[in-house]
Amino acid sequence: MEDKTKTLQREFLKVFEKLEVVLGWEPGYDSLHATPSFIRQAKDLNKLVWNPLCSQNLCTYLVKTLNASVRKDDKKIGICVKGCDSRSLVALIQEKFITRETFYIVGIPCEGTVDWRRLMRIEPSLKDVQKVDIQGNELEVETAQKTYRFPLQQVLEQRCLHCRYPNPIIYDCLIGEPITPHIGDDQAYGDIEKIEQYSLPDRLKFWEKELDRCIRCYACRNACPLCVCRDSCIAETRTPKWLSQRCDLKEKFFYHMIHAIHLAGRCTECGECERVCPMEIPVTLIKKKLNQIVKDLLDYEAGIDPQKQPPLLTFDPGEKGI
Amino acid sequence: MRIGVFICKCGTNIAATVDTEAVARKALEYPDVVYATDYMYTCSEPGQDEIQQAIEEHDLQGVVVAACSPRMHEVTFRRAVEKAGLNRYMFEQANIREHCSWISKDTEANTRKAIDLVRMSVEKLRFNHPLFSSQVPINKRVLVIGGGISGIQAALDCAEGGLDVVMVERESTIGGKMAKLDKTFPTIDCSACILGPKMVDVAQHENIHLYAYSEIESVSGYMGNFKVDIRKKATYVDWDACTGCGLCTEKCPAKKSFDGFNEGLDTTTAINISFPQAIPKRAKIDPKYCWYLTKEKCKICQKICPVDAIRFDMKDETVVEEVGAIIVATGFDLVDHSVYGEYGGGHYPDVITGLQFERLVSASGPYEGHIIRPSDGKEPKNIVFIACVGSRDPSIGRPYCSGICCMYIAKQAILARDHIPDSNCYVFYIDIRAPGKNYEEFVRRAQEDYGVQYIRGRVGKIYPQGEHLIVQGIDTLLGIQVEVEADLVVLATGVAASVGAKELAEKLRISYDEYGFYMESHPKLRPVETNTAGVFLAGVCQGPKDIPASVAQGSAAAAKTQILFSRDTIETDPQIAKVNERMCIGCGKCIDVCPFGSIQWKTLRDGSQKAEVLDTVCQGCGLCNATCPPKAIQLQHCTDDQILAEIEVLCAGERHG
């Protein structure tokens, strides 16, 4: 079987003349990182890689960086999506930020991506990594010296452990075979249920402790594919003045609640906010909780059906559920 | 800013449970407040004078009145501050009556809450800025929805006043329920004789354009400038050609069609004219029963029509009308009595509704005015009337009184005794409600002059026995069980909201109560207006009422329309949403959530897309503001900063207090 990286490069090469740019991943600053890659020339396509280090959700760049809604010619944007990334793409289509026709989508069924911080905690001496691959239930890391094997449960990102959509929802070309999710729909909100078992005061204590670590760097916001306000984010505007720039718990709490409320019924659970958080605050949980409420009340999941109108972005006097 | 605070005692309404003096004293401590006082009735003339004097003496730039709900007197006070030279929007009203003094007897707690409410209003006012209205022209045409007596009266009054009227009627003829009645209480004058000329007036009035057999598809726009899509349902007859000669109805072989006008007592032909006095007197084909439209054979009407008016290929057609006001007069339907299993659940042919009895006794009805039993055509000797069927009955979700049934069964009993002098009439009732002019006397006449036997009590069961119906009830005055061997039972079926009332309300953006009756703007002081400006109510669509009240309300709605149209322009409300284009990210979410369609795209010179609010359509509801992620769209009279400032002082107060 051909290496998926090779297939990826070949598939893009076939259609490259119709594309303005290809969004994919390339090797990063060290052997345990991949980094987003914007390829505008066919000769650079061989930079592209696919491996369990390709964490970034490339949809984040569509509205904020590429302004993908404004196209100068009829050339398309090529983009690689994992299952979770594809939901963000669908959500952006639903909200009419982008149109489906603008994209050539290469979908990649994904077994999960590696949380390098967890990996380094288990094996701090890891260096000179040459290859990272998933084999069955294990992550195989080849270094110059030896081959390590880690159980996936210990090294994957949190989002991947609860992933229900490993297969892309929409694509023009699929690399590899669809895979079965690790968990069923009934376990989708298992991580939330764990926290909900706490008493209310304990729950408050938990969140105060977690959110107090926030340094208001806004990485969570910047990495979010659906945070589309760019320079107008109300975390920073003076009029209206929702938040002050003070770095105390109240303001941090408020900021994270606003972020979550803005994503209610929109969040596609790609987990980027949590992945990029330098303080490792489990912020995705708040958004997942709101998603659970939206699912219960309105029977809706974001980023599944490009034709469906998100329920909080419509006016229906006969609204059922609320 | 220099702010004045006025605390109203509202007689004892507020002062009994709020220490208004303490509230005023406390208000003086707030930033920018330079004057504060309490007063017996702030809304009274001396009360308003005091505000105006204070504005002058203390050079006030903004005013807070703590009194009743702003829904009550906001307009009053705005006018008062405007007279004293302030912008009318430099005013805030704190509701310390409905939200405070009326809900608890604890003076200390109430006073504390009143202080907080005033504190919040002051803080909001500090962020207020003057707002200005603009003027838009009024389209002086009026749409009347519904061609019953109420709609007819409204349309005629408007037309007589020189207005262009568009009338839309769902059925193929106007006249509504009144056209089906035989006589009217309490004068026993012939319904058709008093209604008929008015129907003819509608048809002949040059200012009235009638769309019969049509329905409202959608309504957009706002007071002064509504746009209405009207769907003309296919009649399969070209009404411009049809003369209403009725030849087609004589020859149509599909004679088993449902006869809605006769309440199903009779059948009619697939091509039919509802009744001889129908306006417009035009034939229509019921596609459910027409042989050609269901089985593609027949076409007899087409062969026989002397003016070639039959169009089997006719389709529904939508026309657009532009009007400045809308009068809703959609009337009512009867409660479905089949929910009462004990009365036969609609299965006994000789248990009929009040309206069916009207058709029975009407000379234009199926039996030409002879009271006979629908089952066997025999003349009934014992007739039982049962009041409150579907009224005052919480068990079927209708606790309200239909208001007209006591009167119409008295009338029907009188008519029955008149038509069949040797008959016996029994009326089972709970209470007799006869509060209108000459109504009580009328009921007395039924009892005393016509010998109708009134039995106070409910009927528990009706069951057939041989040719008869056994009516088992109770006489609560005598405390005994009663059994009547009846030949005919008439149920005084109650009034229910018209079929489709809720759907229409949503198109018109007016509210309705839990039974589907439309909500007036104020139950006492604004009985004809709705909360949507430019939409008025007339007749039973607003709640059960009799013919005189329906006619009066029709005229009232016409008067309200004339008042609105007496000006050439209307002031727009500046309390609306506005987009800060520099902050707008062009996500379009506000456009999706706006219930009024008042936000549209605007392309700037650099090609970027921004949201833009249509001033005259926006109702200031704030859904867009709640949805806008960067809060680029703000309500001019209630900005985020104002709400945040209110919350800020409220929470700060709690910490210190």
For B588, the closest of A96, A229, A262 (CB atoms) is A96
Contact call for B595 and A315, based on CB within 8 A: yes
My answer on whether A111 and A122 are in the same domain is no
Model confidence at A1, pLDDT cuts 50, 70, 90, reads very low
A chain contacts of residue B585, beta-carbon cutoff 8 Å? 228-230, 232
CA distance B40 to A155: 74
Q: What is the pLDDT of residue A246?
A: 86
Which of residues A139, A155, A171 is at a domain's end? Answer: A155
Which of residues B470, B496, B522 is at a domain's end? Answer: B496
A chain contacts of residue B607, beta-carbon cutoff 8 Å? 70
For B587, the closest of A95, A240, A315 (CB atoms) is A95
List the beta bridge partners of residue B216: B230
My answer on whether B341 and B323 are in the same domain is no
Encoding tokens for residue A252? Answer: 């941090």
Flag whether B649 is in a domain: no
Name which residue leads in pLDDT, B267 or A231. Answer: B267
Which of residues A155, A170, A204 is at a domain's end? Answer: A155
Flag whether A197 is in a domain: yes
Contact call for A242 and B631, based on CB within 8 A: yes
Q: What is the pLDDT of residue B71?
A: 87
Encoding tokens for residue B310? Answer: 């039959």
For the segment A256-302, what is each residue's pLDDT rounded down to a tens digit? 999 999 999 999 999 999 999 999 999 999 999 999 999 999 999 99
The shortest C-alpha distance from B217 to chain A (Å) reads: 17
Identify the CATH number of the domain in which residue B587 sits: 3.30.70.20
Contacts of A69 (CB under 8 A, 6+ apart): A63, A97, A98, A99
Which of residues A155, A185, A204 is at a domain's end? Answer: A155
Contacts of B160 (CB under 8 A, 6+ apart): none
My answer on whether B210 and B162 are in the same domain is yes
Q: What is the pLDDT of residue B655?
A: 42
My answer on whether A146 and A285 are in the same domain is no
For the segment A94-144, what is each residue's pLDDT rounded down to a tens digit? 998 898 999 999 999 999 999 999 999 998 888 888 889 988 889 999 988
Q: What is the pLDDT of residue A2?
A: 59
Task: Please choose, from the candidates B40, B91, B41, the residue with its C-alpha nearest in 3D space to the C-alpha of residue B64.
Answer: B91
Cβ–Cβ contacts within 10 Å for residue B533, how many?
Answer: 15
My answer on whether A209 and A76 are in the same domain is yes
My answer on whether A198 and A103 are in the same domain is yes
B341 CA to centre of own chain: 31
Which of residues B496, B514, B535 is at a domain's end? Answer: B496
My answer on whether A33 and A139 are in the same domain is no
CA distance A131 to A141: 6
Number of domains within chain B: 5
My answer on whether B404 and B522 are in the same domain is no
The shortest C-alpha distance from B583 to chain A (Å) reads: 5
| Buried-state track B64-98, b at ≥16 Cβ within 10 A, e below 16 | bbbbbebebbbebbbebbeebebbbbbbbbbbbbe
My answer on whether B491 and B510 are in the same domain is no
My answer on whether B344 and B378 are in the same domain is yes
- B99 is in which domain, residue-wise? 3-131
My answer on whether A74 and A138 are in the same domain is no
> ipTM surpassing 0.85, yes or no?
yes
Cβ–Cβ contacts within 10 Å for residue A130, how many?
Answer: 11
Give the dihedral sign, CA A58/A60/A61/A62: positive
Q: What is the pLDDT of residue B656?
A: 40
Identify the CATH number of the domain in which residue B414 sits: 3.50.50.60
Number of domains within chain A: 2
My answer on whether A148 and A165 are in the same domain is no
Contacts of B449 (CB under 8 A, 6+ apart): none
Contact call for A233 and B589, based on CB within 8 A: no
H or E element at residue B469 = strand B468-475
Flag whether B362 is in a domain: no
Q: What is the pLDDT of residue B206?
A: 96
- Three-state DSSP class for B184? strand
My answer on whether A277 and A132 are in the same domain is no
Say whether residue B363 is in contact with chain A using an 8 A CB cutoff: no
Dihedral, CA of residue B582, residue B585, residue B589 and residue B592, to nearest 10:
70
Task: Please choose, from the candidates B650, B479, B567, the residue with its C-alpha nearest in 3D space to the C-alpha of residue B94.
Answer: B650
For A229, the closest of B630, B641, B644 (CB atoms) is B630
Cα–Cα distances (Å) from A146 to A129, A142, A153, in that order, read 9, 6, 21
Nearest residue of A to residue B502, measured between CA atoms = A318
Say whether residue B623 is in contact with chain A using an 8 A CB cutoff: yes
H or E element at residue B114 = helix B107-126
Contact call for A242 and B593, based on CB within 8 A: no
B601 CA to centre of own chain: 34
My answer on whether B300 and B260 are in the same domain is yes
Name which residue leads in pLDDT, A317 or B17. Answer: B17
My answer on whether A285 and A252 are in the same domain is yes
Contact call for A240 and B641, based on CB within 8 A: yes
My answer on whether B372 and B437 are in the same domain is yes
- Three-state DSSP class for B496? strand
H or E element at residue A135 = strand A129-135
Q: Are B541 and B563 in contact (CB under 8 A)?
A: no
Flag whether B124 is in a domain: yes
CA distance A178 to A163: 14
My answer on whether B165 and B213 are in the same domain is yes
Flag whether A320 is in a domain: no
Flag whether B481 is in a domain: yes
My answer on whether B146 and B221 are in the same domain is yes
A chain contacts of residue B587, beta-carbon cutoff 8 Å? 95, 97, 228
My answer on whether A129 and A217 are in the same domain is no
B chain contacts of residue A229, beta-carbon cutoff 8 Å? 585, 629-630
Q: What are phi and psi of A103, to 5 degrees?
A: -120, 145
My answer on whether B406 and B525 are in the same domain is no
Flag whether A322 is in a domain: no
My answer on whether B507 and B491 are in the same domain is no
My answer on whether A132 and A26 are in the same domain is no
Nearest residue of A to residue B635, measured between CA atoms = A240
Instruction: Examine residue B197 and say whether the peptide bond preceding it is cis (omega within 30 degrees of 0).
Output: no
- A126 is in which domain, residue-wise? 116-155
Q: Which amino acid is at B413?
A: A
Say whether residue B591 is in contact with chain A using an 8 A CB cutoff: no
My answer on whether B608 and B557 are in the same domain is no
Task: Please choose, from the candidates B554, B497, B495, the residue with its C-alpha nearest in 3D space to the C-alpha of residue B527.
Answer: B554
The series of mean pLDDT values per 10 residues for chain B, 657 residues long, is 96 95 96 96 95 96 96 94 96 96 95 96 96 93 98 98 97 96 95 95 97 95 92 96 94 93 93 94 95 93 95 96 97 94 92 96 91 94 96 94 96 96 96 95 96 96 95 95 96 96 93 94 92 94 97 98 95 92 92 89 90 89 94 95 94 57
My answer on whether A98 and A201 are in the same domain is yes
Flag whether B310 is in a domain: no
**pTM (predicted TM-score):** 0.72
CA distance B264 to B336: 14
Contact call for A315 and B589, based on CB within 8 A: no
Name the region of B287 (left: φ>0; alpha: ψ -120 to 50; beta: rest). alpha
CA distance B27 to B114: 10
B chain contacts of residue A260, beta-carbon cutoff 8 Å? none
Q: What is the pLDDT of residue A227?
A: 93
Dihedral, CA of residue B527, residue B533, residue B538 and residue B540, to nearest 10:
-80
The shortest C-alpha distance from A168 to chain B (Å) reads: 25
B chain contacts of residue A230, beta-carbon cutoff 8 Å? 585
Contact call for A234 and B594, based on CB within 8 A: no
CA distance B249 to B240: 18
Instruction: Examine residue B280 and say whether the peptide bond preceding it is cis (omega within 30 degrees of 0).
Output: yes
Which of A239, A257, A309 to mutate against chain B (most B CBs within 10 Å)? A239
B585 CA to centre of own chain: 41
